[in-house]
């Protein structure tokens, strides 16, 4: 399919709902429905699966209700009526969304006659339109964003709901895949290929709503908090790992964007993502999925078992998910398997052996015949670079993983015991165990020593009588393959939520809950032991020269000689971290949908009080806190805090079409001698001038308590190149600060227990329109404006600004006794001679960030004579995204050239689904708007000197799925992701490996997933 054709198809996906709105009003297509008599919840689940109809209800409140079943060829509407006949429940269609809600009817409907299969020739008679039964009391439907149950699915703030059926139809195979498809998820996150991610958060994945930062999105499971990933992202802040959530257990995902702290407390600044896991199941469902890629690598096998039971007053659901996914290696993709893939024609092959005169800047030509061509699979050869000769390999750059390998077991159970008709006990338990393996690059070595001048890696060679620099990358022939070079992360998660829920009187419902969540990991990093490698490759140290350089008499022949595996093993070790994180919460929630009556309707109320504790401990390898290993020196961190909160909500019908929602909450945290508190609130309006139109708006405030690692991080070390402005200005050839050279230093970072809250303000306004079409067609359209401002945002101090302030203070441009100087001067770490060793910095409340834009969602459903059609379109347009580090700084437009940010201005998804009899199919498309080129992201793009433009164009990806129901108990599914095998877009300025933007793209290519589902017992599939 050529590009114009794909573009036309995408436009058609967006416009098709409009064209079909004027199509003929075809009769709802009858289909075969087979649902046995029995439990009503199981019957509703079966009808949803067999007809594609989306039904909303609370399974626990329908508990005990029975159905006579449905058998025959009938329309979905007629099937639902027969299913509910005599059950005491009826149908309520939400006027704003068209959703079908199961409600408690005033009285039971009369029994419907049994359905019979009509003759083949005559057309089915039109279904008689019947008004829906008036609900006496709509059973609780709690939607993310409020604790007050409500009848309408749509509320004052937009909530996106993604069902398990939609996830499967779109071809998504993991939770990160699903969330990446959200148009509201517009932030840059760590890729599995990221060097920083591999070093600090191996195997973990994040979500970033509105691009405000992954730590500003609150992630819940069944409305409850889960423990953070126990290692801080980038060594700085905590976040929630979404990679460990079992997709096979998910019933639906609800996404609320905007500040929601008035309901949920801390963290809900950009929004809330709530994973609702399955609560009921009739019979046993077995599901096996095999996955592979068209270009090879990344093979996967997944098995899921779900079963439910009911024994008197005790019922439950148990699920098990097993996953075995092989890693996908970079050398399996031609786009990134060699340094020759670089867009720079002068790209040099990576160093394998490099030796040169440090001050002379030249290599040693006599070494040219010492390169062993058998290394790196025969790809090692003599090469010429900036320092002359070296041994290089074009293939070694591909020794890393694109996708991590993962073996995991996830178990989930949800249980309920009815003590009496007004009180029940419940428990949700989730356990996870995963082994993740990944690799960024082979291990490397250089002499690890640092002189007073900061010349790291340089020593004096007594044999050549020169100061030399030696570098070595170890090859798979020396390490015995890649297994021992990979980072291994064993992840253990446990979440338990248990308590009681019941009814007081006629109108009050309550829930008393204890929620515990923990995340334990064992992370094993392969490292080079510096002293052992120095001795093996350089020999014993013979002292220090007058300039502070270590003296060795090394054998250069030994340096170029490949190591035996025994020698390699003697200089390597596994550096093991055992980080932990936990979260515990006690809460009590009470609600009343009819607190008192007003002329326009009942006032709803919900109240909540909670107390909780939170803790983390990195438990690092003690040797990693020293210079024992070559490379990075890590820091420690541990701490805990408690908090309590109290909240209330009201939902008030002001007059018949206008409803006001109000929420307020106070939270207080305690750690050390600090006890900061924060009050947040929200207001919402819903106005329904006509049944088909909802006008809505919301305003809310939010906050985020500082991350535990921001508060309690101990000294961490970051190697850097830093300008020393003060010393530079003393030199005779000084011209300007911009011309000052950078010096190799080791900066130091710690947390700050005096940090304050981050705060936010959020505003949304929009409409939902669902005009009545016919009994066979439904259409809805929503458009919402959003605006979020984050203030007092926590950012790291800028070491360069610290050094500039220090110079201005020492030179008298700023009063030395001013607060700026008293803070900045001691942060420049100098030795007794005044030489710069590094900069000491901390996180600080200083930054501001704002986003604004529009969300659009449209859905069209049409039951035609040739099958049931479903069309969907979502689109997010950012009109603003800017930030600044302090009030004195100008606003930085994240969408501008050379902004230093990697975020799209638009994201769009569209889908077409079709179902007829045993067959169903879906085509899903996703478009990501233009992104900055590498030079623009690095803030160096110049129209005269850059090899490419400032932007890479918008991209499109398509997924397709096909399902065939073999019989009532078996189904076969095929999903193809990246249908047209699209590779990442080319960027002529992206000259660093892997030569494309890994935050948004990968080179996995087309993937296939074949799935077989078998239902044992209960209702049919």
* pLDDT-based confidence at residue 199 (cuts at 50, 70, 90): confident
Question: Does 13 map to a domain?
Answer: no
CA 230, CA 583: separation in Å to the nearest integer? 11
- The reply to whether 473 and 512 lie within a common domain is no
Question: Does 46 map to a domain?
Answer: yes
Question: Does 371 map to a domain?
Answer: yes
799-810 helix and 819-827 helix, angle to the nearest 10 degrees: 110
Q: Which of residues 66, 84, 104 is at a domain's end?
A: 104
pLDDT in tens, 918-946: 999 999 999 999 999 999 999 999 999 99
The DSSP-derived string for 572-583 is: EEEEEE--EEEE
* DSSP strand pairing (951-952 vs 955-965): unpaired
- The reply to whether 309 and 353 lie within a common domain is no
Q: How far is CA 161 from the centre of its chain?
A: 17
CA 54, CA 851: separation in Å to the nearest integer? 33
Q: Which of residues 88, 104, 120 is at a domain's end?
A: 104
CA neighbours within 13 Å on the CB side: how many for 856? 13
Question: Does 569 map to a domain?
Answer: no
Backbone angles phi, psi at 406, to 5 degrees: -150, 130
Question: Does 622 map to a domain?
Answer: no
pLDDT at position 169 is: 87
Question: Does 274 map to a domain?
Answer: yes
pLDDT in tens, 754-801: 999 999 999 999 999 999 888 888 999 999 999 999 999 999 999 999
Structure tokens at 906: 């638009």
Give whole-number Cα distances, 416 to 287, 295, 316, in Å. 25, 47, 6
40-51 helix and 76-84 helix, angle to the nearest 10 degrees: 180
Question: Does 572 map to a domain?
Answer: no
pLDDT at position 31 is: 61
* pLDDT-based confidence at residue 818 (cuts at 50, 70, 90): very high
- The reply to whether 432 and 301 lie within a common domain is yes
- The mean per-residue pLDDT over the stretch 24-29 comes to 40
CATH of the domain at 943: 2.40.170.20
- The reply to whether 172 and 302 lie within a common domain is yes
Q: Which of residues 839, 866, 897 is at a domain's end?
A: 839
Give me Rg for the CA atoms of the chain: 31
- The reply to whether 323 and 337 lie within a common domain is no
Give whole-number Cα distances, 70 to 32, 112, 257, 1020, in Å. 10, 10, 40, 11
The Cα diameter of the chain in Å comes to 104
- The reply to whether 286 and 344 lie within a common domain is no
CA 127, CA 144: separation in Å to the nearest integer? 35
CA 541, CA 536: separation in Å to the nearest integer? 11
- The reply to whether 452 and 344 lie within a common domain is yes
CA neighbours within 13 Å on the CB side: how many for 207? 31
CATH of the domain at 71: 3.55.50.30
- The reply to whether 823 and 962 lie within a common domain is no
Question: Does 352 map to a domain?
Answer: yes
- The reply to whether 770 and 892 lie within a common domain is yes
Edge-to-edge strand list for the sheet holding 742-749: 716-723, 742-749, 836-841, 828-830
- The 3 state secondary structure assigned to 24-67 is CCCCCCCEEEEECCEEHHHHHHHHHHHHCCCEECCCCCCCCCEE
Domain that holds residue 819: 721-749+804-839
CA 46, CA 63: separation in Å to the nearest integer? 16
- Whether 923 contacts 875, CB under 8 Å: no
Of all helices (H) and strands (E), which one includes residue 850?
strand 843-864
pLDDT in tens, 703-722: 999 999 999 999 998 888 89
* pLDDT-based confidence at residue 6 (cuts at 50, 70, 90): very low
- The reply to whether 759 and 829 lie within a common domain is no
- Whether 258 contacts 697, CB under 8 Å: no
- Calculate the dihedral angle through the C-alpha atoms of 895, 896, 899, 905, rounding to the nearest 10 degrees: 10
The DSSP-derived string for 922-980 is: EEEEEEE--EE-HHHHTT---TTT-SS-SEE--EEEEEEEEEEE-SSSEEEEEEEESTT
Number of domains in the chain: 4
Nearest to 451 by CA among 556, 359, 555, 354: 359
- The reply to whether 350 and 428 lie within a common domain is no
Q: Please report where in the chains the tokens 């041994």 appear, as a residue.
A: 391
For residue 94, pLDDT over 90 is answered with no
pLDDT at position 962 is: 97
* pLDDT-based confidence at residue 533 (cuts at 50, 70, 90): very high
Of all helices (H) and strands (E), which one includes residue 898?
none
Q: How far is CA 226 from the centre of its chain?
A: 14
Nearest to 257 by CA among 782, 647, 871: 782
- The reply to whether 671 and 781 lie within a common domain is yes
């Amino acid at each position: 399919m050529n590009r114009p054709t794909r573009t036309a198809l995408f436009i058609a996906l967006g416009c098709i709902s409009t064209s079909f709105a004027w199509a003929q009003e075809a009769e709802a297509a009858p289909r075969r429905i087979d649902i046995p008599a029995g439990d009503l919840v199981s019957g509703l689940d079966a009808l949803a699966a067999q007809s594609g109809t989306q039904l909303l209800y609370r399974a626990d409140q329908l508990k005990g209700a029975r159905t006579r079943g449905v058998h025959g060829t009938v329309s979905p509407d007629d099937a639902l009526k027969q299913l509910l006949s005599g059950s005491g429940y009826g149908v309520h269609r939400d006027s704003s969304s068209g959703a079908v809600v199961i409600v408690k009817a005033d009285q039971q409907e009369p029994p419907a006659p049994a359905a019979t299969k009509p003759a083949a020739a005559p057309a089915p008679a039109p279904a008689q339109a019947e008004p829906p039964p008036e609900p006496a009391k709509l059973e609780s439907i709690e939607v993310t964003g409020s604790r007050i149950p409500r009848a309408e699915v749509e509320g004052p703030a937009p909530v996106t709901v993604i069902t398990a059926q939609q996830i499967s139809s779109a071809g998504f195979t993991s939770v990160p895949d699903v969330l990446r498809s959200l148009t509201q998820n517009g932030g840059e996150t760590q890729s599995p290929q990221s060097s920083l991610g591999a070093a600090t958060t191996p195997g973990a994945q994040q979500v970033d709503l509105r691009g405000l930062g992954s730590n500003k999105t609150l992630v819940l499971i069944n409305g409850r908090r889960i423990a953070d990933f126990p290692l801080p992202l980038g060594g700085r802040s905590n976040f929630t790992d979404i990679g460990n959530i079992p997709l096979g257990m998910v019933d639906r995902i609800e996404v609320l964007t905007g500040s929601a702290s008035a309901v949920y407390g801390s963290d809900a600044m950009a929004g809330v993502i709530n994973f609702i896991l399955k609560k009921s199941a009739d019979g046993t469902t077995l599901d096996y999925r095999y996955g592979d890629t068209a270009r090879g690598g990344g093979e996967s096998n997944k098995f899921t078992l779900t079963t439910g039971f009911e024994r008197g007053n005790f019922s439950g659901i148990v699920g098990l998910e097993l996953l075995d996914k092989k890693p996908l290696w970079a050398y399996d993709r031609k786009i990134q398997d060699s340094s020759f893939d670089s867009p720079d024609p002068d790209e040099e092959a990576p160093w394998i052996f490099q030796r040169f005169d440090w001050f002379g800047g030249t290599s040693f030509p006599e070494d040219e015949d010492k390169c062993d061509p058998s290394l790196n699979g025969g790809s090692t050869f003599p090469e010429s670079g900036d320092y002359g000769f070296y041994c290089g390999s074009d293939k070694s750059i591909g020794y890393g993983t694109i996708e991590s390998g993962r073996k995991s077991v996830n178990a989930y159970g949800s249980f309920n015991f009815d003590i009496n008709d007004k009180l029940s006990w419940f428990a949700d338990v989730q356990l996870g165990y995963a082994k993740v393996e990944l690799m960024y690059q082979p291990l490397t070595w250089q002499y690890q020593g640092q002189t007073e001048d900061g010349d790291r890696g340089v020593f004096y060679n007594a044999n050549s009588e020169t100061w030399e620099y030696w570098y070595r990358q170890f090859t798979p022939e020396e390490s015995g393959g890649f297994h021992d070079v990979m980072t291994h992360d064993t992840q253990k998660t446990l979440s338990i939520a248990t308590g009681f829920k019941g009814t007081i009187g006629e109108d009050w419902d309550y829930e008393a809950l204890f929620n515990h969540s923990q995340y334990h990991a064992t992370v094993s990093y392969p490292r080079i032991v510096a002293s052992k490698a120095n001795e093996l490759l350089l020999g014993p140290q013979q002292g220090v020269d007058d300039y502070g350089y270590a003296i060795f008499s090394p054998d250069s022949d030994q340096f170029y000689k490949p190591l035996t595996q025994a020698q390699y093993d003697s200089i390597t070790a596994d550096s093991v971290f055992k980080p932990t994180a936990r979260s515990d919460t006690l809460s009590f929630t009470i609600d009343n949908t009819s607190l008192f009556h007003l002329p326009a309707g009942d006032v709803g109320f919900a109240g909540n009080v909670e107390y909780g504790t939170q803790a983390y401990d990195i438990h690092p390898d003690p040797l990693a806190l020293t210079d024992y290993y070559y490379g990075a020196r890590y820091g420690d961190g541990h701490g805990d805090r408690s908090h309590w909160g109290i909240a209330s909500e009201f939902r008030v019908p002001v007059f018949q079409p206008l409803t006001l929602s109000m929420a307020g909450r106070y939270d207080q945290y305690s750690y050390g001698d600090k006890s900061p508190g924060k009050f947040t609130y929200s207001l919402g309006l819903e106005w329904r001038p006509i049944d088909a139109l909802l006008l809505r708006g919301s305003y809310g405030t939010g906050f985020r308590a500082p991350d535990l690692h921001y508060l309690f991080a101990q000294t961490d070390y970051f190697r850097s190149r830093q300008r020393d402005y003060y010393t530079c200005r003393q030199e005779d050839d000084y011209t300007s600060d911009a011309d000052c050279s950078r010096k190799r230093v080791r900066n130091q970072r710690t947390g700050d227990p005096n940090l304050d809250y981050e705060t936010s303000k959020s505003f949304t306004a929009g409409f939902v329109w669902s005009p009545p079409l016919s009994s066979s067609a439904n259409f809805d359209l929503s458009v919402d404006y959003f605006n979020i401002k984050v203030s007092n945002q926590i950012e790291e101090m800028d070491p360069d600004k610290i050094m500039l302030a220090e110079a201005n203070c020492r030179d008298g441009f700023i009063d030395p006794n001013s607060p700026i100087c008293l803070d900045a001067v001691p942060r420049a770490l100098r030795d007794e001679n005044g030489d710069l060793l590094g900069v000491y910095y901390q996180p600080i409340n200083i930054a501001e960030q704002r986003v604004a834009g529009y969300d659009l969602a449209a859905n069209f459903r049409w039951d035609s004579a040739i099958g049931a059609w479903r069309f969907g379109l979502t689109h997010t347009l950012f009109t603003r995204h800017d930030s600044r580090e302090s009030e004195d700084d100008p606003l930085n437009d994240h969408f501008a050239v050379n902004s230093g940010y990697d975020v799209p201005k638009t994201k769009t998804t569209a889908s077409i689904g079709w179902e007829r009899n045993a067959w169903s199919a879906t085509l899903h498309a996703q478009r990501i708007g233009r992104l900055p080129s590498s030079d623009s992201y690095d803030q160096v793009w110049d129209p005269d000197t850059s090899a490419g433009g400032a932007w890479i164009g918008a991209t499109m990806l398509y997924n397709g799925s096909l399902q065939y129901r073999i019989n009532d108990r078996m189904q076969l599914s095929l999903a193809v992701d990246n249908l047209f095998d699209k590779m990442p877009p080319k960027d002529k300025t992206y000259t660093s490996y892997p030569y494309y933007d890994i935050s948004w793209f990968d080179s996995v290519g087309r993937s296939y997933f074949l799935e077989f589902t078998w239902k044992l017992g209960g209702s049919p599939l």
